[in-house]
Amino acid sequence: MKNVRLVVVSFSVAAIVTGCGHNIFESSTEQEVTTVFSSVTEIAEETTSSVFTTKSTTVTETTTVNYSDTYEGLSGYWYIDGDPSAALLHISSDGKFTAYYANGLVENEGIVRKVLDPAINNYIYCMYLDSGKLYSKFADDGEKEKTDIYMGNNGIPHYVKLYGEGGLGDDGRGPEEAYTGTWNCERAHIDITYYGEGIFHATVKWGASASTHAQWEYPLIFENDKLICNGNGTRSFVEYEDAESEPKVTEEYSDGSAEFTLEGNHLFWNNLTEHNADDMLFSKEEY
Q: Helical H runs in the chain?
A: 13-27, 41-46, 48-53, 175-178
Q: Are residues 189 and 146 in the same domain?
A: no
Question: Is 45 part of a structural domain of the chain?
Answer: yes
181: Cβ contacts below 8 Å, ≥ 6 apart: 191, 192, 284, 285
Residue 160, beta-bridge partner list: 79, 148
Give the tens place of pLDDT for each residue, 140-179. Answer: 887 778 899 998 667 789 999 998 887 665 655 688 889 9
Give how many domains the chain has, as a whole number: 2
Please indicate, yes or no, whether residues 148 and 210 belong to a single structural domain of this protein.
no
Domain that holds residue 250: 13-26+168-284
Q: Which residues pair with 199 in a beta bridge?
A: 196, 221
Q: Which of 156, 188, 220 is the last residue of a domain?
A: 156
User: Cα separation of 107 and 233, whole Å?
Assistant: 29
Q: Is 80 exceeded by the pLDDT of residue 29?
A: no
Same domain assignment for residues 17 and 88: no
Clarify whether residues 38 and 18 are in a common domain: no
Classified as helix, coil or strand, 41 is: helix
Domain of 50, CATH number, reads 2.40.128
Q: What are phi and psi of 21, to 5 degrees?
A: -65, -45
| Gap between the Cα atoms of 89 and 146, Å rounded | 14
| Contact by Cβ (8 Å): 114, 121 | no
Percent of the chain with pLDDT over 70: 72
pTM: 0.65
Residue % of the chain over a pLDDT of 90: 48
The Cα–Cα gap between 235 and 180 comes to 21
**What is the CB neighbour count within 10 angstroms for residue 249?**
10
Query: What 3-state class would DSSP assign to 45?
Result: helix
Given pLDDT bands bounded at 50, 70 and 90, which one contains residue 34? very low
User: Are both 149 and 223 inside the same structural domain?
Assistant: no
Count CB neighbours of 77 within 10 A: 25
In residues, how long is the chain?
Answer: 287
- Those residues with Cβ within 8 angstroms of residue 32's Cβ, 6 or more apart along the chain or in another chain: none
* Residue 52 DSSP code: H
- Angle, vertex CA 42, rays to CA 112 and CA 146, nearest 5: 30
Task: Return the closest-CA partner of residue 119 out of 137, 145, 135, 146.
Answer: 137
**In the 8-state DSSP scheme, what is residue 277?**
T
> Last residue of a domain, which of 133, 156, 179?
156
Is residue 194 situated within a structural domain?
yes
Q: In whole angstroms, what is the distance from residue 225 CA to residue 247 CA?
A: 36
Residue 8 domain-assigned (yes or no):
no
Q: Answer yes or no: are the C-beta atoms of 284 and 173 closer than 8 Å.
A: no
* CA trace torsion 126, 131, 98, 137 (10° rounding): 20
pLDDT digits (tens, 9 = 90+) for 90-145: 999 899 999 999 989 999 999 999 888 888 788 889 999 999 999 999 988 877 78
